[in-house]
Structure 1
Amino acid sequence: MMDNTSTNIYVTDVETNEILFMNKAMQKSFEIEKPEGKICWQVLQKGMEGPCPFCPVPGLLKDEDEHPSVVWEEENTRTGITYKNYDSFMQWTDGRTVHFQQSVDHTTTRQLEKAAATDELTELLNRRAGKLALDHTLSQAKRDKIRVIVGMYDVNDLKEVNDTYGHAEGDVLLKTIARNIKECLAPQDYTFRLSGDEFIIVFKDTDLTASKEKVRRARERIQLFKEKHQKLYEMNFCCGYEEVEPDDQRTITEILTNVDEKMYEKKRLFHIQKAEEKYQKEGEKQGRTKTFSYDKEHLYDALVQSTDDYIYVCNMKTNTFRYSKAMVEEFDLPGEVIENAAAVWGARVHDLDKKAFLESNQEITDGRTDCHSVEYRARNRKGEWVWMRCRGHLERDESGEPTLFAGIITNLGKKNKIDHLTGLFNKFEFEEEIERLISTKPDQPIGIMILGIDEFKRINDLYNRSFGDEVIRIISQKIQTFLPPDATVYRMDGDEFGIILRNGTVHGLENIYGKIYQAVNHQQEFNGKKFYCTLSAGCTLYPLDGKTYLDLIKYAGYSLEYAKNKGKNQIAFFSEDILIGKTRQLDLTELLRESVEQGFENFEVYYQLQVNADTRKIKGAEALARWKCEKYGQVPPDQFIPILEESGLIIPVGKWIFEQALGACARWIKKDPDFVISVNLSYVQLEDAGFIDFMERTVLSSGVPPANVVVEMTESYIASNINRVEGIFDRIRSFGMKIAMDDFGTGYSSLGILKKIPADIVKIDRIFVKDVQTSHFDLTFIKFIVELCHDVGIEVCLEGVETEGEYEAVKPHAVDFIQGYLFGRPVPGSIFKEQNFS
């Protein structure tokens, strides 16, 4: 039987290292005839003068386990092939204990792994492999108590080179810079490509000065290359650095964000310098005019009409001020032209601010300064105190005497009504206008709509908050475009907008939403970056749904939440059902909080069996949360888990579930050492900076090997947070735990996600199983995914197998594991133990 297998197998005496048996496949690989009786290290290795220093036999002899075994890899010195070795002891034909090894050729796998970790253009580590290496470096530096310098360099003018000389030259630029930096690094240092023209350098156990010196040498080499090959474009880069001390508690993401900011400080200086050089080179031709004339008589009027601020001008020879008409009306001044204005205006300034106001004006009068800037409170014609900001500048004549004093007074109270990002009125104006309409026109119906950008956080995570602000601004402009004359839009908190429709009806609100829906329901682009975002809407009508602002805005918010929970990208009108559902949700929130505060009372962890698809033998279990309460009885997970996530209670509950699951696993692996526990992670838990640390501590304290723990994340969360998840995957894998992608196939980019950040296990959703006996598509999909995953070393678990017919349909397609009612429903731990370990 051993001669019929393609893997290498041989047996040796544990004391003499004499080969007792070698199968034909291994004899052929090592070109050995009649190996029996020969010493293993003499014929299986090259250049050995004694037993191999990496021989597993001494370690196995010391292992106190009843059946010791070890799995390890080696690159064989004789064949050059990388083998994955499985070593253990067995009883030989004469009764003695002998060493048994089975070896599998892993050369191709290792080559593929290397290729998968390498950037094809620059031959540096790629983003995923580089970040994994950086995480390992930082962890090791903490243990060894050494400093790490992390640098980020960004190639200058890559787009300009691509546009002017072609992308082939752009590739030359990237490769030249990357190669020369790599060649100037010490053996322990490395560099990797983070994205298009951005790279990371990592310097170990050194200081900032030495690190910068290596980069300086690289710049010199790059310039020599440029001169030698007569490149017509600049070959340079901007670089920023961040020092990471052994006690630094920042995450990789935080460190990279900080070094990115420092690099871009250099980038801004580069662009400024480049612009100055261009200006010097081209001269001052543009904008050079000998004379410029304009209508000075109407300048003041034009300025007043062009701003909401108040314009003032003072003739310093006569001490006469002119104020804009709007300021005269707002503060009930005696007229636009006022003599002795300091006394007239000063009488309206708050007593606590009068000293600062008068001192600032006196400095101008005395000629001690030519600039004026002061903030103070002034009483308007309604008797209200409003904050003002006054700024001005003094002009002097040829003899140096003050001649003109002019400036701007900003009414900060008025400015605070406007959202600075979008230019829309803000939420305070929204409230004020609704209350005004209700009080002045109580019989007139009002339509109120709250719009929210769906999954806006994903846009911020994909790019940055600055880009997210631009998206909000773009959306606000689109909304304004489609509003009828009797509707106004306001900027609310975060990614939300409010619309007031006078004489509002359901049809009128639906019409507005329909136009906005058509305008945004497609991929958009800004500054070369593509984004896709939809809008959900919640609506109420006055007086049908409420007679006060607070009720109307509350119910509109409930309706928006309902629309988002129902799948987003839709409109919802307030109804009694929405109110009942929200009331129940609020009630459940408080009951869940009580359960948590009372030591997780009424929470329980259930376990659902996972089996080997071929043998039906136990593989492991998925830990599932269950909760009940006296008022509502057993509450389904799809109802209470979203409430836990929204309230933040999922953090303590998730930790409790993880501890319970690991405790159960620790007991059950004593019966079955290969038993694997799977635990779902919520997106809220993954946003908690300390949760990964908690998992690692819990696993270590439980005694469960990390390899026996699988953490599951839904495909939808991974898709929405792909950049952040990449770092989380690296961290979890580096600890030794495995990652499963849950609900696979239900998202819009399943294969794309799998390529960018492959999981260890893919769990195919029940949706592809329920019709598998009649659906050729579902069966083909399962077969395709299994083959694809197996080709790249990913295991596949099929969820939701409930009948023998479904099992028989999928069994021939080599699924690794199965989870479903056919093999076991979720049950409490005590019942699970009784069913599987009695």
Structure 2
Amino acid sequence: MENNWEFFENLQELIFVIDMENHTMAYMNHSARNAFGCPDHKEYQNRKCYEILQGLSTPCPFCTDSVLAMGRFHDWEYTNPLTHVTYILRDTLFELNEKIYRIELAYDKNSRDIEKSERQSFTPDTKKFWDDNITPLSDGSTAFQTFIRNNYFDAEAFFRSVAIPDAPYYLYFGDLQSNLYYISDNMKDDFGFLDNIVYNLIDAWGEKISNEQDRMLYHEDLRHIMEQKKGVHSLRYRITDKNGITTWVHCRGIVKWSGDKNTALFFSGCVSRLDSDFSLDAVTGFLREQSALNDLAARNGTMETTLIVGFGLNHFTYINDSKGRASGDMLLRAISNCLLEKLGSLFTFYRLDGIRFMAVSKQNVSYNENEAVENIRLTIEECYSKQKLSTKQAASFGILHFPDNGDTPQEILENTMTLISIAKLNSDLKYSKFSSDVIAKQKDKSSMALSLSENVEKGCEGFRIVVQPIVSRDTGKIIGGETLLRWRYRGQEISPVVFIPLLEETRMILTVGKWVFGQVVSLCKQILVFQPDFLLSFNVSYLQILDDTFLPFIQQTIAEIGLLQGHLMLELTETHFDEMPIRLQEFVAECLKMGIKFALDDFGNGFSSLQMLFKYPVNVIKLDRTLMNEITHSSENLDFIMSIVYACHRSKKQVCVEGVETDAELEIVRQTDCDMIQGFYFYRPLEVADLLRGLEGDGGILAEGR
């Protein structure tokens, strides 16, 4: 039993724990054993407390006094007949494992009086020096411990003074070794606990967290604290009281560890009700947009510059569509809790709309903008990784300052959301920073998005497809091609890197994607008249794969146009497999049934795995341009690429090398024994009319590099 009380072992006070059922001594700490002649725990075990402490043969008044009660302290002053020492005693009763115990703390009244009398004789300066320096430093005590040791302190009175019934918070503290907690009256009353003393409060409180995702995060956070030996608990979640009313709360606590960090001793903190004071987002627990406006308005005119980090989460449409909205909400909740835990002391976080957020530096806090973005980014990526999601470009960031980058709070919010949109379209930038030119360009992109929408509504007016030919490694003749999408805006060609994300963000890619596939099938049938073995490839967005109507559309289009099987090839990147492996495997399997081949595109760009080559039913591997750069600078890299090509051939997969642009690169690529080559050395993307005209003339298109 002494293992339950070992945290009392080295206290200077005398500690006794007594089993009230039979009045036997359950525990005596080191000081108590020395005072009563029990050098070892075995000396007092199974012996009556009144025999050891009083020298009596029957129970003493301390064991039978009716003033003792559960959870309430009673103070005594008593001269012990065995030691002849006058002790100040504090006693209480509590329940552990369905047994009632009395715990008693005792200290020598005379030694305390001597200490007080000695200090009273000090001069004022000496007394101050003693209070400020000697007492705290002599045993490593904190100021709070020093005050309690040297002054009268009523713990229950103090606790009740801060745990007032109508307070918007609840208080708790507990012994992590005995797993016994004491909770405030309002916590007991509001949540239906039978007593202020609660055994295993962590689990009991967790049962009152009605939302499953919230409850999982709660237990995960506490488990993480114990595993990582952390000292702080900070989490927002929803809790349901005894009347069935669900409330957002912010639970904060401190864990006290032993000196060697091996034993968690004490856990205390408070649970603050949030919805009584703040307008909170129901999913993240972040403050909402109006609160951000109020906060910035309060700072207006203070002459203090406030750092603002706007950020938007990426790939979230895919997450909601493929994994379900509950998984998306769980990820949002995990991100918000991690951000609050790690950066909540420096920033106030707000949810603006959708998956766009804003972090506002707290007043009197100076923070480097690069460091701010990096810390938020790493936190978000950590949460994505735990959900087994790709962390590549998990979030996009914008930086601005108030009041420098907006005259009013409303203008700051508008500029923040604009910067987030800019960052999404410029994924190579660490973050977008405010400038008048940047905002003007974004307004132009907003106009571009409007034009995209108008073009899509008019039957994809302004869009067209082009084809970059793929040639045989041995002969240099065209054997296939990759279909690419083009769009003109105000008389200029717009890069797909710009307009494709806009189509995906607005989900217009679903309509445009079907239009593209229809063009691909129609073109392929025309090409086969001139070149019967031609293979035409096409790309799809992850949103198309998630679209339940796309596969039936593919099947219907092929049937209506009458295209023979074996001449279309679907190109997908490794990222697709990382983010939605099951759905994608099903999609690929259905395409293969329709005679559509499958190419793994951009192999070597990022974190390629050889496992990808053999895990999925791939017909063609397309080696990325980055590998071309590698093999032209190292013979070892060339050997490695040759081994990949060999492995692909052994498993009956063909290899296409992308990005060949020079004679030197062509010479090296031919050493790899690949099957096909695609690059500007041979052809840039061709307009459909030019491709057909060249194929009709027996392949007489002029290659770029010749």
User: TM-score, with normalisation over the residues of structure 1?
Assistant: 0.48
Structure 1: runs of 5+ lacking an equivalent: 1-284, 310-323, 325-370, 376-386, 390-409
Aligned to 2:448: 588
1:802 aligns with 2:665: no
Partners of 1:557 and 1:506 lie apart in 2 by 23
Aligned to 1:644: 503
Cα contact 1:715–1:747 (8 A) shared by 2: no
Aligned to 2:47: none
Q: Which of 277, 280, 288 lines up with 2:98 in the alignment?
A: 288
Partners of 1:372 and 1:485 lie apart in 2 by 32
Structure 1 residue 429: Cα displacement: 2.2
Partners of 1:515 and 1:374 lie apart in 2 by 38
Structure 1 residue 729: Cα displacement: 1.4
Q: Deviations over 1:709-767 (max 9, x none)?
A: 11112333333332321221122112221111222210213434334434221111223
1:617 aligns with 2:510: no
CA distance 1:694–1:804, change in 2 (3 Å): same
Q: Which of 311, 336, 354 lines up with 1:451 in the alignment?
A: 311
SS of equivalent residue, structure 1 residue 670: helix
SS of equivalent residue, structure 1 residue 498: strand
Q: Which of 712, 724, 728 lines up with 2:583 in the alignment?
A: 724
Partners of 2:696 and 2:482 lie apart in 1 by 16
Aligned to 2:592: 733
Structure 2: runs of 5+ lacking an equivalent: 1-94, 104-154, 171-185, 187-240, 249-271, 698-706
Aligned to 1:417: 279
Aligned to 1:706: 565
CA distance 1:605–1:515, change in 2 (3 Å): closer
1:481-492 paired onto structure 2 within 5 Å: 481-483=341-343, 487-492=347-352
1:1-16 paired onto structure 2 within 5 Å: none
Q: Which of 335, 338, 341 lines up with 1:475 in the alignment?
A: 335
Aligned to 1:433: 295
CA distance 1:449–1:813, change in 2 (3 Å): closer
SS of equivalent residue, structure 1 residue 669: helix
Letter in 1 for 2:293: E
Letter in 2 for 1:830: A
Cα contact 1:712–1:741 (8 A) shared by 2: yes
Structure 1 residue 694: Cα displacement: 1.0
Structure 1 residue 605: Cα displacement: 1.8
SS of equivalent residue, structure 1 residue 417: coil
CA distance 1:568–1:605, change in 2 (3 Å): closer
SS of equivalent residue, structure 1 residue 677: strand
Name the stretch that deviates more: 770-779 or 712-721.
770-779
CA distance 1:502–1:288, change in 2 (3 Å): closer
Cα contact 1:445–1:542 (8 A) shared by 2: yes
Structure 1 residue 544: Cα displacement: 1.4
Aligned to 1:304: 165
Structure 1 residue 546: Cα displacement: 0.8
Partners of 1:681 and 1:418 lie apart in 2 by 38
1:693 aligns with 2:555: no
Structure 1 residue 803: Cα displacement: 3.5
Letter in 2 for 1:414: S
Partners of 2:506 and 2:340 lie apart in 1 by 34
Aligned to 2:603: 744
1:540 aligns with 2:400: yes
SS of equivalent residue, structure 1 residue 499: strand
1:42-81 paired onto structure 2 within 5 Å: none
CA distance 1:686–1:637, change in 2 (3 Å): same
Cα contact 2:279–2:288 (8 A) shared by 1: yes
Letter in 2 for 1:586: S
CA distance 1:698–1:615, change in 2 (3 Å): same
Partners of 2:319 and 2:608 lie apart in 1 by 16
SS of equivalent residue, structure 1 residue 704: coil
Q: Deviations over 1:372-422 (max 9, x none)?
A: 9799xxxxxxxxxxx999xxxxxxxxxxxxxxxxxxxx9997377234555
Aligned to 1:141: none
CA distance 1:666–1:506, change in 2 (3 Å): farther
Q: Deviations over 1:779-814 (max 9, x none)?
A: 334323211222222221122223344333222432
CA distance 1:754–1:549, change in 2 (3 Å): farther
CA distance 1:492–1:590, change in 2 (3 Å): closer
User: TM-score, with normalisation over the residues of structure 2?
Assistant: 0.56
SS of equivalent residue, structure 1 residue 823: coil
SS of equivalent residue, structure 1 residue 802: coil
1:819 aligns with 2:651: no
Q: Which of 788, 793, 815 lines up with 2:652 in the alignment?
A: 793
Partners of 2:391 and 2:455 lie apart in 1 by 40
Aligned to 1:598: 458
Identity between Structure 1 and Structure 2 (%):
28
Q: Deviations over 1:127-161 (max 9, x none)?
A: xxxxxxxxxxxxxxxxxxxxxxxxxxxxxxxxxxx
CA distance 1:573–1:634, change in 2 (3 Å): closer
CA distance 1:830–1:464, change in 2 (3 Å): closer
CA distance 1:720–1:777, change in 2 (3 Å): farther
Q: Deviations over 1:586-616 (max 9, x none)?
A: 1222222233333333322222222222233
Name the stretch that deviates more: 420-429 or 802-811.
420-429
CA distance 1:489–1:742, change in 2 (3 Å): same
Structure 1 residue 648: Cα displacement: 2.4
Structure 1 residue 678: Cα displacement: 1.0
Aligned to 1:174: none
Partners of 1:787 and 1:624 lie apart in 2 by 29
Partners of 2:482 and 2:560 lie apart in 1 by 20
Cα contact 1:445–1:504 (8 A) shared by 2: no
Cα contact 1:716–1:747 (8 A) shared by 2: no
1:742-781 paired onto structure 2 within 5 Å: 742-769=601-628, 772-781=631-640
Partners of 1:535 and 1:602 lie apart in 2 by 31
Cα contact 1:645–1:684 (8 A) shared by 2: yes
Cα contact 1:628–1:634 (8 A) shared by 2: yes
Structure 1 residue 832: Cα displacement: 0.8
CA distance 1:418–1:292, change in 2 (3 Å): farther
Letter in 1 for 2:603: F
Partners of 1:569 and 1:292 lie apart in 2 by 65
SS of equivalent residue, structure 1 residue 634: strand
SS of equivalent residue, structure 2 residue 165: helix
Letter in 1 for 2:559: L
Letter in 2 for 1:733: L
CA distance 1:721–1:554, change in 2 (3 Å): farther
Structure 1 residue 685: Cα displacement: 2.2
SS of equivalent residue, structure 1 residue 430: helix
Partners of 1:523 and 1:598 lie apart in 2 by 41
SS of equivalent residue, structure 2 residue 648: helix
Aligned to 2:486: 626
Letter in 1 for 2:655: V
CA distance 1:424–1:648, change in 2 (3 Å): closer
Aligned to 1:556: 416
Cα contact 1:448–1:541 (8 A) shared by 2: yes
Letter in 2 for 1:645: E
Letter in 2 for 1:436: A
Cα contact 1:454–1:568 (8 A) shared by 2: no
Partners of 2:416 and 2:292 lie apart in 1 by 13
How many residues are treated as equivalent by the alignment? 460
Partners of 1:542 and 1:503 lie apart in 2 by 12
Cα contact 2:310–2:359 (8 A) shared by 1: yes
1:669 aligns with 2:504: no
Partners of 1:634 and 1:519 lie apart in 2 by 38
Name the stretch that deviates more: 633-642 or 741-750.
633-642
1:265-414 paired onto structure 2 within 5 Å: 287-289=97-99, 302=163, 304=165, 307=168, 414=276
Structure 1 residue 307: Cα displacement: 4.1
CA distance 1:632–1:506, change in 2 (3 Å): farther
Partners of 2:407 and 2:588 lie apart in 1 by 51
